[in-house]
Amino acid sequence: MNVEEVPTASVSDLPADGVSLLDVREHDEWTAGHAPDAVHIPLGELPARVGELADLPDDKPVYVVCRTGGRSARATAWLNASGWDAVNVAGGMKSWHTEGRPVVGDRDGVPPVIL
């Protein structure tokens, strides 16, 4: 499966609650701002850490997000080729934030931002 063929959904198509979200951005991007209940595994670490997704519900797809959708499309293609049910989030965390979805950061006293 190539990147052009990955299943993709817009943020507005995602359920409001109970979304299994995998954030594949780098650590500094995650720290600056991320979805509250997302699992964080940077794209480069995904093959070695994919087992961490085993705790996610297996009856729902894993929605994969990055900053704007490029890295998450590659991660989605890899996950689907590896037997997962994964969907790329079009527009990434930029769209997540624009759509008014919650964002939290890990920097004390600094409002979350999407890098």
As annotated, the active-site residues are: 66
d(CA 100, CA 110): 19
Which residues, 6+ apart, have CB-to-CB distance to 93 below 8 Å? 23, 25, 29, 33, 34, 35, 65, 66, 67, 68, 103, 114
